[in-house]
A = this chain, B = another copy of it.
Amino acid sequence: MSVTQPRGFTAAGVESGLKASGGRDIAFVVNTGPSQAAAAVFTSNRAKANPVIWSQQAIADGILRAVVLNSGGANCYTGSRGFQVTHATAELAASLLGASASDILICSTGLIGDQLDFDKVSAGLTAAHGSLSDDGGLDAALAIMTTDTHPKQSVVSRDGWSIGGMAKGAGMLAPGLATMLVVITTDADLPSAVLDATLREATRVTFDRLDSDGCMSTNDTVALLASAASGISPAADDFGAALTELCADLAAQLQQDAEGAAHDITIEVVSAASEDDAVEVGRAVARNNLFKAAVFGNDPNWGRVLAAVGTTAAAFDPYDIDVTINGIRVAHAGEPDQSRELVDLTGRAVHLVIDLNAGESTATIRTNDLTHDYVHENSAYSS
CB within 8 Å of B: which residues of A?
A: 45-48, 74, 76-79, 81-82, 111-114, 171-172, 213-218, 287-290, 293-294, 296-297, 299, 301-304, 306-312, 318-319, 331, 333-336, 340, 370-372, 374-376, 378-380, 382
> When the two chains form their complex, are residues A74 and B303 in contact, meaning their CB atoms are under 8 A apart?
yes
> When the two chains form their complex, are residues A335 and B79 in contact, meaning their CB atoms are under 8 A apart?
yes
Knowing A77-B303, A112-B306, A310-B46, the reply to whether A378 touches B336 (Cβ < 8 A) is no
Knowing A214-B289, A371-B375, the reply to whether A311 touches B113 (Cβ < 8 A) is no
> When the two chains form their complex, are residues A306 and B77 in contact, meaning their CB atoms are under 8 A apart?
yes
Contacts of A334 in B (CB 8 A): 77, 79
A216 CA / B171 CA spacing, docked (Å): 24
Partner of A331, one of B77, B301, B375: B77
> When the two chains form their complex, are residues A311 and B45 in contact, meaning their CB atoms are under 8 A apart?
yes
> When the two chains form their complex, are residues A318 and B48 in contact, meaning their CB atoms are under 8 A apart?
yes
> When the two chains form their complex, are residues B47 and A309 in contact, meaning their CB atoms are under 8 A apart?
yes
User: Knowing that A47-B306, A290-B378 are A-B contacts, what are 11 other residue pairs whose CB atoms are under 8 Å apart, sorted by A's residue number?
Assistant: A46-B312, A47-B310, A48-B310, A79-B335, A112-B303, A112-B307, A171-B290, A172-B307, A215-B308, A294-B379, A299-B382
Contacts of A47 in B (CB 8 A): 306-307, 309-310, 318
Contacts of A382 in B (CB 8 A): 294, 299, 301
Contacts of A78 in B (CB 8 A): 335-336
Please name the residue on chain B nearest to A335 by beta carbon.
Answer: B79
Contacts of A76 in B (CB 8 A): 303
> When the two chains form their complex, are residues A375 and B299 in contact, meaning their CB atoms are under 8 A apart?
no
Give the 3 A-B CB pairs with smallest separation, nearest first.
Answer: A112-B303, A47-B310, A297-B379
Contacts of A301 in B (CB 8 A): 112, 382
> When the two chains form their complex, are residues A379 and B77 in contact, meaning their CB atoms are under 8 A apart?
no
Knowing A289-B378, A334-B79, the reply to whether A216 touches B303 (Cβ < 8 A) is no
A74 CA / B306 CA spacing, docked (Å): 13
> When the two chains form their complex, are residues B297 and A380 in contact, meaning their CB atoms are under 8 A apart?
yes
A324 CA / B7 CA spacing, docked (Å): 51
> When the two chains form their complex, are residues A214 and B287 in contact, meaning their CB atoms are under 8 A apart?
yes
